[in-house]
Amino acid sequence: MIGGRDPVGEIADGAGCEPVGIPVLLAEEATNMGMFINTNVAALNAQRNLGVTGGKMSKALEQLSSGLRINRAADDAAGLAISEKMRSQIRGMQMGLRNAQDGVSMIQTAEGALNETHAILQRMRELTVQAGSTILSTSDRTMVGEELLTLRNELDNIASRSRFNGLNLLTGALSVTTPDVIGNIVAGGTATVAIDVSKADAGTKYIVTNAAGSDVTVTNDTTKVSQTITASAMAATIGDTQVLNFDALGVKLTATNTVAVVITAANVAGGLVHAGINTAAGDGNATFRVGSEITDNVSVGFNDLRSSALGGAGTELDVLVADNTAVGSTTLADSLLGALDTAISEVSTQRAKLGAAQNQMESAIASVAVSVENLSASESRIRDADIAMVSSELVTRQIMQQAGVSVLAQANQSPQAVLELLQ
């Protein structure tokens, strides 16, 4: 009561007025706050943002665990395409580096053999100069001839022993080809034969014979060295193969069944009989792929450096030093001296070519290694994850996730306040 009047009563007594109290105010405030029970919009909003935060946190964890920014095409389609192209180039160059290193090893193997070849030729020349004097007796010349013959044989032995990965380096066997191909096996044309002469002598004819039964003999028509292998029967299966490897001669024959019939051992052996296998001298080059492209090749030439190829045309060492009478007279000694000078020059030329090829290989190794380093750095910038940045992102998302969970909990509790309106 104020001044003897009741304000509440005056309001209550006014026309068209209803009593105003606390419950009416609460109801109005609740309406403005949007307290709905069927649809909790605040909770849905919090849940949506929480899902977004969880997805980004999962992506950050994936990047940290893999170390890559791009783990799938969806992460960066263009970046993935570029990085994959770079990866192909990098891996090709890395293999090219290994190829070039193999080339250097191959050259070093040949160089070691040629060093000994040079030493032998110098000793042979020394003996030939000695035999140029008329004071030597016949027996003396015979002894000098014996040593010359031994040294000449060792030249051939060195050439035969100089192998790299099964390839003869100094016999001219690299890139040996054969224009002559054995036809079908006689028994109904039921099999074909492939010829491998990659380890055979160049410019040589090999005779294939079948004397009796299932034995197959291959003979070097020049040296008359032969090797015999017994053939086996072939099963009635298309694609069944049989390999006759005449390893002593460097010739390999592979028969393949083309019809589902049994081929007896005698028919296999008889069908291999041929006039001969003629090998042609190749260029003697060994090619190494030192990069990732088909044009990134380095060729290394290896000549035939046996006694039969040294000394010049018509004055080969194997002819001049065929026995212990090579320096039986001063005239013979003079002829041999000229041939040895030519042989020394031929070996020196071969060593110079190998030295230049080795320098080329080493330059290729250095340049390719730099390219691999630069391309790897470029690919890393495209595909690798920035660990510091991703770690910071992960911490941020973890904090946001914790806050989102808390907000979602509060949003889920807000409908409970509506119950107070019902009390």
pLDDT (tens digit, 9 = 90+) per residue, 307-344?
A: 888 988 788 898 899 999 999 999 999 999 999 999 99
d(CA 233, CA 269): 9
- Domain-embedded: residue 383: no
Q: Chain-wide mean pLDDT for the chain? A: 82
For residue 321, the tally of other CB atoms under 10 A from its CB is 27
> Comparing C-alpha atoms, which of 44, 76, 46 is closest to residue 59?
76
- Domain-embedded: residue 150: yes
- Domain-embedded: residue 74: no
Range of the domain at 228: 191-278
Q: Are residues 262 and 293 both part of a single domain?
A: no
Q: Are residues 169 and 293 both part of a single domain?
A: yes
Q: Residue 126 — φ and ψ, nearest 5°?
A: -60, -45
- Domain-embedded: residue 71: no
**What does DSSP say about strands 285-289 and 215-220: parallel, antiparallel, or unpaired?**
unpaired
> For the CA atoms of 357, 358, 362, 368, what is the dihedral angle to 10 degrees?
40
Q: Which of 228, 247, 278 is the last residue of a domain?
A: 278
Task: Give, for all 423 residues of the chain, the pLDDT tens digit.
Answer: 444 445 444 444 444 444 444 444 444 444 444 556 677 788 888 888 888 888 888 888 888 888 888 888 888 899 999 999 999 999 999 999 999 999 999 999 999 999 999 999 999 999 999 999 999 999 999 999 999 999 999 999 998 888 888 788 888 777 566 555 454 444 445 777 778 776 777 678 888 888 778 888 889 888 888 999 998 888 888 888 888 888 888 888 888 888 778 888 888 887 777 667 877 765 667 888 998 888 888 888 888 888 888 988 788 898 899 999 999 999 999 999 999 999 999 999 999 999 999 999 999 999 999 999 999 999 999 988 888 888 888 888 889 888 888 888 888 877 777 767 666
Q: Are residues 273 and 197 both part of a single domain?
A: yes
- Domain-embedded: residue 76: no
pLDDT in tens, 70-107: 888 888 899 999 999 999 999 999 999 999 999 999 99
pTM for this entry:
0.62
Query: What's the pLDDT score for residue 180?
Result: 53
For residue 112, the tally of other CB atoms under 10 A from its CB is 12
Query: What's the pLDDT score for residue 18?
Result: 47
Region of 58 on the Ramachandran plot (φ > 0 left; ψ -120 to 50 alpha; else beta): alpha
The CATH number of the domain holding residue 142 is 1.20.1330.10
Q: Which of 228, 258, 278 is the last residue of a domain?
A: 278
* CB < 8 Å & 24+ apart, contacts of 324-329: 324/142, 324/145, 324/146, 324/148, 324/149, 325/141, 325/142, 325/145, 326/145, 326/148, 326/149, 327/127, 327/128, 327/131, 327/141, 327/144, 327/145, 327/148, 328/138, 328/141, 328/142, 328/145, 329/141
- Domain-embedded: residue 304: yes
Q: Are residues 296 and 365 both part of a single domain?
A: yes
d(CA 196, CA 229): 16
The helix/strand/coil state of 224 is coil
Q: Are residues 274 and 290 both part of a single domain?
A: no
Q: Are residues 304 and 350 both part of a single domain?
A: yes
Q: Are residues 231 and 367 both part of a single domain?
A: no
Q: Are residues 294 and 361 both part of a single domain?
A: yes
What's the number of domains the chain is made of?
Answer: 3
Contact 321, 332 (CB under 8 A): no
Kindly state the DSSP code that residue 247 receives in the 8-state scheme: T
Contact 274, 243 (CB under 8 A): no
Contact 295, 232 (CB under 8 A): no
d(CA 203, CA 74): 61
Q: Which of 243, 278, 313 is the last residue of a domain?
A: 278
